[in-house]
Structure 1
Amino acid sequence: MTNNIQVAFLAFAGGITFGILTVYVLMINGIMVGGLAAFFWHYSKTYVFWAYIVPHGIIELTAIFIAGGAGLLMGYKLLVPVIILEAIS
């Protein structure tokens, strides 16, 4: 649980690096989960892997995706700021 909280925080806070850290954190965690899935598949233990991942992963991975989206939005808004002066005139 603490790892997922840390990942979600880094995915969100990484937005201040123009989204670079957010993309890195999401990619590294995706590669880790994919690598572990391949490892368990190789040894014919996919049921054990998915039985562990799915129950807690649905909520936690959704939270990480939302935090990652917010971090990417923050990075985008830093790169492409909204010009308020156009709305005034």
Structure 2
Amino acid sequence: MKPTLLVLAAGMGSRYGGLKQIDPLGPSGETIIDYSIYDAVRAGFGKIVYIVRDYFLDAFKEAVAQKYSHVTCPDGEPLQFEFVTQE
């Protein structure tokens, strides 16, 4: 059984002024979460679970699921995603 990466991303970003979790920051528009996913997949993780606010769910699904729907684990299995909401 492959490990699961739990991404705690339910913060409002009030000090930052927005959704820092999905704002582009890398040289090619990568997000902070992109770097975490890349490292997790290379380390053998097979599933990513995002904990987000219900209010941000659609934004996360759009930013994350489409970008990583084609990603496979080193063993060739597709990377799995799940979104859990927290109020």
Q: TM-score range by the shorter chain?
A: 0.3 to 0.5
More strand as a share of residues: 2
**TM-score, normalised to structure 1's length?**
0.36
Larger radius of gyration: 1
